[in-house]
Each structure stands twice: as structure tokens, then as C-alpha cells.
Structure 1
Amino acid sequence: MQKVLAVLFAGFIAAGAVHAAEPVRTAPQSYVGVGVSSVDYVGAATKASPKVFTGYQIKPQLALEAGAVDLKNGYGMYIAVKPSLPLSEKLSAYGKVGVGQTRRQPLPAAPTPLGKKNDTGAYGAFGLQYSISPNAAVTLEVERLPREKPSALKPNVWTLALQFLF
């Protein structure tokens, strides 16, 4: 899974760089993004993990989005509705509401309840997006991944990402 995410990450960066300078098209638009997420486990250090996502802007302030993040011993994925609110010409706030799933391998030293492999449930996020060009933006968000208690995975994930509109 890590190799697949690394290849997608490199491809999105290359494609995004090519399209970032193109003129803006009117809505609807598609977008892709790559990012770095913080993944925390109980009793372990925070680790940086790759994240990829794609979306479709139905209106300037409403999009549908799907994404995946590497959890180091598994992965998380989601599909969500993403409404946004412009705060200035280049800065906007947004939220995401949807459904997500985490899949992970049991941690070797964890008791059986902490080794649950699949969790499906509500997914949510909120963040800020800053447009660096007409077709590129930087986002900072906090996501809430689905998980059952007790779990070795901490539910909140911080992500810094680049987003490219097409």
C-alpha cells in the first residue's frame, strides 16, 4: 500500500505542477491532492504518512471528495460532501461529512481488542484552504477517522496538502 501511495503522490505532484498555471475554468471542476498526515497510535510516536484525494466541485462552495491515507500498518479511506465558506479572496474554511473506513493489521504487542482490523463509520473533517494560484491551493485540516473503542489508533489526523484543480 505504501508503494502505491508513493507512486500516486509523485504522479499527482507532476500533473498538478503542469496544470497549476492553466487558466481557471468555470465550475464544475475536478481536483486531486497529495498531502502528509500525522498518524498517532497509543504508546507510539507520531508518524508522517502520505495521503491522496480527489474531488469534484459541483458548485464553487460544494464538492464531493474521496481519499485515502496510509496508517503505517493499514490504511484509511473516506467519501464525503465538502461545503466551503470563503473568508477572503484566497482563503476559505471548509468541512467534510461522510463515511470512512480504517483497515489495519493488529499491532504485535497489543492485546486482542486493540487489534481489530476494520472500522466503518462516520467521517468528518474541517480545515482551511489557501489558493496559491488559480488552479492550486494549500490545505490544512484535521480529520476524524472512524474507529471502535478500545483502539490503538488515535482518531484525529492532521493533514497538510496540495490541491490541484483541473
Structure 2
Amino acid sequence: MRKLVLALVTSAAGITAVHAQTRPQDFPRGYLGLGGAVAGTAYNIKGIGNVNKIDKTVTSIKVFGGYEFDPIWGVEAGYDNFSRTNFDFTTGNFQAGTGNSDGYGVYFASKGRYPINDQWEAYVKLGVAFSHRRTSTSVGLNFKEDDTGPYGGAGLQWSFYPRWDFILEYERFGKNKPNGAQADVFSFGTRYSF
């Protein structure tokens, strides 16, 4: 296992060194990205108990894009499609039931970047987000929740090839939701600068 980890680290360092000289530094520039996002789930529905979260987390597709004015400042917008999650429960009169929840989150944020070296940078994002959750149950309890609130994020970005970057970040979509995907989201993905 140690040899595998050492080989991966050595390969990554080699790729980084080879492409260090060719990373584009032209500003202003735009970018588009695609990735995934993972969030925990919760279900808090009046009248039901013993909720069994079949899907404890939800993994979703994330699409985002932005514009960088210079090496430090930019803006970004994105969309997370929170896939359907399932749960089962019992009602107060011991009737068994099932349910599911889905939703999405969109955001617009300003972005501050801190270059660490030629390949790595850290960044923070602050803005506004809109979140939508829909929950349906087999016993007729259905809910729709919308929330507009603050958005925040922080992450790391690695330039692994000219114009291509890998991102890993934490995002917060407003306040926690009573049902479905929660506000704390961990995202990953790639982006292309043009």
C-alpha cells in the first residue's frame, strides 16, 4: 500500500512539474465546471416516528461556472441537483410507510482566491443561495420547502494540466432543511478555463 501511495504522489508531482510552465495566466477569463456533491439527510415530519434513513447521504451532480477578473477576484454561479433519497417510518398509530425527498440548490457568489504556488490555490466564496426541497410520503404527508439565504464556501484548487483544474470544497446553502439534503455540502470536480 505504501508503494502505491508513493507512486501516486511521485506521479502527481511529476505531472505538476511538467505542466507548471504551461499553466495559462491570462486574465480576465471564464471557466466551466462539472462535479459531484455529497450532503447528509434529515427527516423531521410531524406525526411520524422511527424514521429509518435508507439513504443517509445524497450524492448529486454539480454544474458551475465563473469569471475571474484577475488572479485574486472573481464571481461564480452554480447548480447542485440533489438526487432522490428514500426513507421508511411508522406513524403514531403504528402504520408503516415510505417516503422520498429530492431538491436542488443554486448560488451566486463572489470569489476570493489565494495562490499558494503555480499549481495550488485556496479560495473562499460568499454570496446568496436558493434551495428547494420536496418530500412525499405514502401516507399523504407531502411538503415543499424553499429557502433563500446566505451562501458560503471554501476550497482548494489544483491545476493538473493547462486550463484544467481539480477542485475540492465545502459549501453551505443557507440554513438546514427539515427534510432531505442538508445545507452542508462537500463538493469535488474539474473545471476548464477559457
Contact 1:147 1:153 in 2 (8 A): no
Post-superposition offset of 1:56: 0.5
What stretches of structure 1 of length at least 5 have no aligned partner? 1-21
Please list, as runs of the form range in 1=range in 2, the aligned pairs for 1:86-105 lying within 5 A after superposition.
86-105=115-134
Please list, as runs of the form range in 1=range in 2, the aligned pairs for 1:16-165 lying within 5 A after superposition.
24=24, 26-42=26-42, 43=53, 44-72=55-83, 73-108=102-137, 115-147=143-175, 150-165=178-193
> How many percent identity over aligned positions?
33
What amino acid maps onto 2:154 in structure 1?
F
Q: C-alpha root-mean-square deviation of aligned residues, in Å?
A: 2.3
Contact 2:106 2:129 in 1 (8 A): yes
1:14 match: none
State the TM-score, normalizing by the size of structure 2: 0.67
What amino acid maps onto 1:48 in structure 2?
T
Local SS of the residue matching 1:153:
strand
Q: Deviations over 1:34-81 (max 9, x none)?
A: 001103212332132100001001111111000000112111000000
Post-superposition offset of 1:124: 0.2
Post-superposition offset of 1:109: 7.1
Structure-2 change in CA distance of 1:149 and 1:68 (3 Å):
closer
Contact 2:121 2:157 in 1 (8 A): yes
Q: Deviations over 1:3-35 (max 9, x none)?
A: xxxxxxxxxxxxxxxxxxx97362000000000
C-alpha separation in 2, matches of 1:88 and 1:77? 31
C-alpha separation in 2, matches of 1:67 and 1:24? 23
Further displaced range: 52-61 or 41-50 = 41-50
Q: Which has the larger radius of gyration?
A: 2
Whichever structure has more strand as a proportion of its residues is 2
Q: How many residues align?
A: 144
